[in-house]
Amino acid sequence: MIAILGAGSLGRLWAATLPAGQVAFVPRPGQAPAPVCYRFQPIDGESGSTIIPWLQPGQSPDLLLVTTKAGNTLEALKAALPSIAKQTPIVLFQNGLGSQQQVTETWPDRPVLAASTTEGANRPAPGLTVHAGRGTTWVGALNPAGDPSVEWVAQQLASSGLMVHPEHDILARLWQKLVINAGINAFTAILDCPNGEILTQPFYLQWIAPLCEEISRLLPAAGQPQQAPEDLRETIEAVARKTAANTSSMRADVKAGRTTEIDFINGYLARLGHQHGIPVQVNQMLAEQVQQLN
Ligand code: KPL
């Protein structure tokens, strides 16, 4: 049994694609006992109705996927983990960085893995989940010693039919995604535009080069390989062009009145800069501007 904590777009994508009968959502305190019902629209093929039960008291899963927003993860796990066996692998799917470290520090003895995914899913209406873009998911252990369950976890996830790979350096993957999110998400939220439109906006054109300089100096301080600011910008802009029509997760959060993940993206980079004495004015400015949108 695979349990999923977090019934948002990504949680619903995994729930709908993993083998039926082997998945349950983890209830939050006070959540209704009725199963979670929604229509799932795969990339190709007809949409169909999906019914996912809640994990029942006394039922301990073999694997726990955590698909909550970064800012809700610690609190959600504090409520859920007391009834989940100590050896159950936990896979964290959060965007950005910072929430993963909070989890490993709070539960140092639990097997904690992280996943980085480029799968696209959204919920255009409350009862509909759309698999909007095919991607790849990498999963790996967060502790440097590795975790023997990585291969097994990757196999379990791959039973969904989605593309999944075990990754020995998941932190590097999380950093690659962080760079992209740091260069796209805040701009789309502040400018209230789809990803591709930032590329011609004066505000973006003013700040992207100094932002990439800050990130380029932060990478080695975080133990990641140095990358030239121009290369970072090229990576960011390639993704912005590829996802030109997309509404970023941060713009979607602002529009829906949800707390954004800015504290785990540009906010995380700003905190890291302060710790290492590296100037981070642009990350700080973007974080503050997005915080004011909430
Ligand atoms: O990951 C994304 C997000 O919206 O969070 C990008 C890559 C910007 C695609 O929209």
The full set of domains in the chain, from first to last, is 2-168 (3.40.50.720), 172-293 (1.10.1040.10)
The reply to whether ligand 1 has any atom less than 6 angstroms from the CB of 94 is no
Gap between the Cα atoms of 198 and 146, Å rounded: 39
**Each residue of 26-76: pLDDT tens digit?**
998 877 678 999 999 999 989 999 999 999 988 999 999 999 999 999 999
Residue 242 designated active-site: no
| pLDDT for 147 | 78
| pLDDT for 226 | 95
Closest atom of ligand 1 to CA, residue 252 = 4
Spans in the chain with pLDDT lower than 70: 32, 144-146
| pLDDT for 293 | 96
Please choose, from the candidates 126, 122, 124, 119, the residue with its C-alpha nearest in 3D space to the C-alpha of residue 38. 126
CB atoms within 10 A of CB 239: 18
Please choose, from the candidates 39, 155, 168, the residue with its C-alpha nearest in 3D space to the C-alpha of residue 114. 168
The reply to whether ligand 1 has any atom less than 6 angstroms from the CB of 249 is yes
The reply to whether ligand 1 has any atom less than 6 angstroms from the CB of 240 is no
Gap between the Cα atoms of 120 and 246, Å rounded: 10
CB 72 within 8 A of CB 87: no
pTM listed for this prediction:
0.95
Partnered with residue 125 across adjacent β-strands are 128
> What's the 122 CA to ligand 1 centre distance in angstroms?
12
Output the six-digit token pair for 104.
């490993």
| pLDDT for 53 | 96
| pLDDT for 212 | 98
> What's the 69 CA to ligand 1 centre distance in angstroms?
14
Among 249, 250, 254, which residue has the most ligand 1 atoms within 8 Å of its CB, making it the best to mutate? 249
| pLDDT for 34 | 86
